[in-house]
Chain A
Amino acid sequence: MTTTDTRATGGPAPGGERPRDERLLRTSPLRKLLSRPELGSVVGALAVLVFFAVAADGFLRPSSISTVLYASSTIGIMAVPVALLMIGGEFDLSAGVMVTSSALISSMFSYQMTANIWVGAGVSLLVTLAVGAFNGFMLTRTKLPSFIVTLGTFLMLTGMNLGFTKLIDGTVSTKSIGDMEGFPSAHALFASTLGIGGVDLKVTVLWWLGLVALASWVLLRTRVGNWIFAVGGNEDAARAVGVPVAKTKIGLYMGVAFGAWVSGQHLLFSFDTVQSGEGVGNELIYIIAAVIGGCLITGGYGSAVGSAVGALLFGMTSKGIVFAEWNPDWFKFFLGAMLLLATLLNTWVRKRAEATK
């Protein structure tokens, strides 16, 4: 094959210096863009932004933007690990109540043991990670569908949240921990507000951006990322080439648990008590954000940035309806419509990607 010219040795020089292959039709930048998983959500987000900028007075005011970003970040922090898990081919229905569990453990441990807040937060981190590991372990060991396994965890956690809170505190909410040692520093880390350039930015927005950056790095630039795509795309093939399938999946569930811990600590330290019944239903919101952001429900495809755009869409819609002074009941309608549109678009994109030429 010595006749095959410089193409062989040139390598994939960035910027397209490689001599063009005559069989490659000129790929328009638009077509290239179309194959990105985030595309649908970005287009949707722009449309919603323009829509509310016109329909709602003051939607683009700094204070509104900060409200929207805050709402998006609370969803986004969880949407990132949930998206990674979906790329890995699994669901976690317990993600919503796990946030509440994490907050409850933190609060109750500190209060009951009269310990420093950070001790409670540490214990909470360990327990939450253990719940995540349990999900992953049950899934990989029993080979049951993740829908069933995490539905079980979801119900058990819901019951335990209420049961233990009533048993220990006598009511459905925890005792205030606002005056306990370590509260100010924990509040600063998980629930403070920073003024940046005239916009009040909640610290959760930084957590959110940080997690998106970390997850994107892991997905695209590490071998673990390669494994996540592989176990979601074709588990048997991944196992056959030596990818540690079980470890990857357990790790993904522990990632969701870590997100739940961060969210839970935010929930706790924004106020100083936690309602034990919270969180039910949020797991679907995280999944919807991930799907709108381009994650395939069947796994193997998606991105962390997409989940962030999905969460942003969520925040814009929920707050935009308020700013436009509409009946907030319409929120769910918008959500459903967006979900359907996004899924249709994603299916179409995947068909193109998988199509045999």
Chain B
Amino acid sequence: MTVTEERVPLVELTDVSKHYGNVRALEGVSLEVHAGEITCVLGDNGAGKSTLIKTIAGLHQHDGGTLRIEGEETRLASPRDALDRGIATVYQDLAVVSLMPVWRNFFLGSEPRKGKGPFARLDTDLMRRTTREELLRMGIDLRDVDQPIGTLSGGERQCVAIARAVHFGAKVLVLDEPTAALGVKQSGVVLKYVAAARDAGLGVVLITHNPHHAHLVGDRFVLLRRGAMVGNHTRDEITLDELTKQMAGGADLDALHHELKRG
């Protein structure tokens, strides 16, 4: 661990572990997220990436180690708790309700209202206008905020979710495999918005199993394998090749290479 800055990380995990019964889902994982930086969490299927983000997102609590938010040791009781502390999570598949219009999705769970008492009602004009403006600010020019969000492409939906998190004042943005189901071009678009969120001063946690995407934007890299942390690097310490190799489990890849070699 080479902590070059003295500033306090937005989120810091030290030696965190999580068990499901007798299954060790996560063991001794440490990572830090700084404002204006992207921390990539890399790992293959079953490496413990989901468990890790669920801990940061407040969906479940860690069993061992410490979780610090802006230097203060804490446990997150619920996703709402995490949101209130400025940690917004964008999930791969459950980010949005596809039958609902874009603007209703954008404000879901934090709807602005006007009026008092029993007459408190949704401020629909504000909601529509804000949705449009916020998306435009991230460079997404939507045709119609009234269309069901299910009619958007996968990349656009991710971007709406990211814009939503940015708008609601998230300090830390957790992205679960935002590029997993996307083509090359769409992935590029999403990564651009991830970088935009970083430039806006957010700390980003990017979960991915694609070292190419990670290396394009990442400042720190945490590698997970079978629930354990196998690497924790900063950008200047590691090359793309090395990252790919470590992620695939260096020796395993060599063996596979050998096995598949023809002739």
Contact = CB atoms under 8 A, between A and B. Distances in A.
Given A4-B136, A222-B120, A356-B150, A229 B100 contact: yes
Interface string B73-117: 000000110010000010100111111100010011111010000
B83 A242 contact: yes
A230 interface: yes
A236 B97 CA distance: 9
A240 B56 CA distance: 13
- Interface magnitude class on chain A: 35 or more
A356 B186 CA distance: 15
A226 B150 contact: no
Given A223-B111, A242-B79, A301 B144 contact: no
B100 to A, nearest CB: 5
Nearest to A14: B125
A357 B153 contact: yes
B192 interface: no
A243 interface: yes
Contacts of B132: 8, 11-12
B100 A11 contact: no
A234 interface: yes
B109 A238 contact: yes
Contacts of A240: 57, 59, 79, 89, 91, 94-95
A44 interface: no
Interface stretch (A59-67, A283-291, A321-329, A347-355): A347-355
Nearest to B59: A240
B145 interface: yes
A11 B125 contact: yes
B153 A234 contact: no
A300 to B, nearest CB: 5
A225 B120 CA distance: 12
A21 B104 contact: no
A350 B146 CA distance: 15
Nearest to B165: A241
A353 B91 contact: no
Given A11-B132, A230-B108, A238-B109, A354 B99 contact: yes
Contacts of A225: 122
B72 to A, nearest CB: 21
Interface string B40-53: 00000000000000
B231 to A, nearest CB: 29
A233 B143 contact: no
Nearest to A5: B141
Given A230-B97, A237-B96, A300-B99, 8 more contacts: A1-B139, A11-B125, A226-B104, A227-B108, A234-B94, A237-B108, A241-B83, A241-B110
Interface of A: 1, 4, 7-9, 11-12, 21, 23-24, 217, 221-223, 225-227, 229-230, 233-234, 236-243, 296, 300-301, 350, 353-357
16 contacts: A9-B133, A12-B125, A12-B145, A221-B121, A222-B113, A222-B121, A229-B104, A233-B99, A234-B96, A239-B79, A240-B57, A240-B59, A240-B89, A240-B95, A354-B151, A356-B153
What 6 pairs across the A-B complex have the smallest Cβ distances? A241-B109, A233-B97, A242-B109, A223-B111, A11-B129, A234-B97
